[in-house]
Protein backbone atom coordinates (compact mmCIF):
# COMPACT_ATOMS: atom_id res chain seq x y z
CA UNK A 1 0.00 0.00 0.00
CA UNK A 2 2.79 2.48 0.78
CA UNK A 3 4.61 1.53 -2.40
CA UNK A 4 2.16 3.55 -4.48
CA UNK A 5 4.02 6.62 -5.80
CA UNK A 6 0.91 8.83 -5.64
CA UNK A 7 0.33 8.02 -1.98
CA UNK A 8 4.00 8.66 -1.21
CA UNK A 9 3.84 12.05 -2.94
CA UNK A 10 0.77 12.93 -0.89
CA UNK A 11 2.45 11.79 2.32
CA UNK A 12 5.54 13.83 1.46
CA UNK A 13 3.43 16.99 1.30
CA UNK A 14 1.50 16.11 4.46
CA UNK A 15 4.81 15.51 6.26
CA UNK A 16 5.27 19.29 6.02
CA UNK A 17 1.93 20.07 7.68
CA UNK A 18 -1.81 20.36 7.22
CA UNK A 19 -3.08 21.02 3.67
CA UNK A 20 -6.53 21.33 2.09
CA UNK A 21 -7.45 18.91 -0.69
CA UNK A 22 -7.43 21.60 -3.38
CA UNK A 23 -3.92 22.78 -2.52
CA UNK A 24 -2.71 19.21 -2.12
CA UNK A 25 -4.00 18.33 -5.60
CA UNK A 26 -2.13 21.28 -7.08
CA UNK A 27 1.08 20.43 -5.22
CA UNK A 28 1.14 16.77 -6.32
CA UNK A 29 -0.23 17.58 -9.79
CA UNK A 30 -3.22 15.27 -9.58
CA UNK A 31 -6.95 15.87 -9.93
CA UNK A 32 -8.89 16.60 -6.76
CA UNK A 33 -10.93 13.42 -7.22
CA UNK A 34 -7.77 11.30 -7.55
CA UNK A 35 -6.28 12.92 -4.44
CA UNK A 36 -9.54 12.40 -2.54
CA UNK A 37 -9.50 8.72 -3.49
CA UNK A 38 -5.91 8.31 -2.27
CA UNK A 39 -6.74 10.18 0.95
CA UNK A 40 -9.65 7.78 1.59
CA UNK A 41 -7.19 4.88 1.27
CA UNK A 42 -4.74 6.60 3.63
CA UNK A 43 -7.56 7.26 6.12
CA UNK A 44 -8.58 3.60 5.97
CA UNK A 45 -4.95 2.73 6.74
CA UNK A 46 -5.14 5.17 9.69
CA UNK A 47 -2.25 7.25 8.40
CA UNK A 48 -4.04 10.59 8.01
CA UNK A 49 -6.84 12.53 9.67
CA UNK A 50 -8.92 15.42 8.48
CA UNK A 51 -11.05 18.27 9.67
CA UNK A 52 -13.69 20.26 7.85
CA UNK A 53 -13.82 24.01 7.69
CA UNK A 54 -16.92 25.13 5.83
CA UNK A 55 -16.66 23.40 2.43
CA UNK A 56 -12.97 22.50 2.63
CA UNK A 57 -11.33 19.39 4.07
CA UNK A 58 -7.88 19.79 5.61
CA UNK A 59 -5.65 16.74 5.96
CA UNK A 60 -2.61 16.01 8.08
CA UNK A 61 -0.65 12.98 9.18
CA UNK A 62 -2.35 11.14 12.04
CA UNK A 63 0.58 11.51 14.46
CA UNK A 64 4.37 11.51 14.78
CA UNK A 65 4.51 7.73 14.30
CA UNK A 66 3.20 8.15 10.76
CA UNK A 67 5.84 10.80 10.08
CA UNK A 68 8.54 8.40 11.29
CA UNK A 69 7.09 5.62 9.12
CA UNK A 70 7.04 7.92 6.09
CA UNK A 71 10.66 8.94 6.68
CA UNK A 72 11.75 5.30 6.98
CA UNK A 73 9.99 4.35 3.74
CA UNK A 74 11.40 7.40 1.97
CA UNK A 75 14.95 6.61 3.12
CA UNK A 76 14.58 3.00 2.00
CA UNK A 77 13.38 4.06 -1.44
CA UNK A 78 16.28 6.52 -1.76
CA UNK A 79 18.74 3.72 -0.94
CA UNK A 80 17.29 1.39 -3.58
CA UNK A 81 17.41 3.99 -6.39
* Tens digits of residue pLDDT in 6-51: 998 999 899 999 999 999 999 999 999 999 999 999 999 999 999 9
3-state secondary structure of 20: strand
Model confidence at 64: pLDDT above 80: yes
CA-CA distances (angstroms) from residue 81 to 3, 19, 34, 35? 14, 28, 26, 25
Closest CA to 11 of 77, 81, 80, 79: 77
Instruction: Indicate the pTM of the whole model.
Output: 0.84
Segments making up each domain of the chain, as ranges = 5-80
Q: How confident is the model at residue 1 (pLDDT cuts 50, 70, 90)?
A: low
Better pLDDT: 50 or 64: 50
Structural class in CATH, domain 5-80: mainly alpha
Amino acid sequence: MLGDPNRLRILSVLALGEVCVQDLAALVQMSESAVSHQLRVLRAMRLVRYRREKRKAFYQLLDHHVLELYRAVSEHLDETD
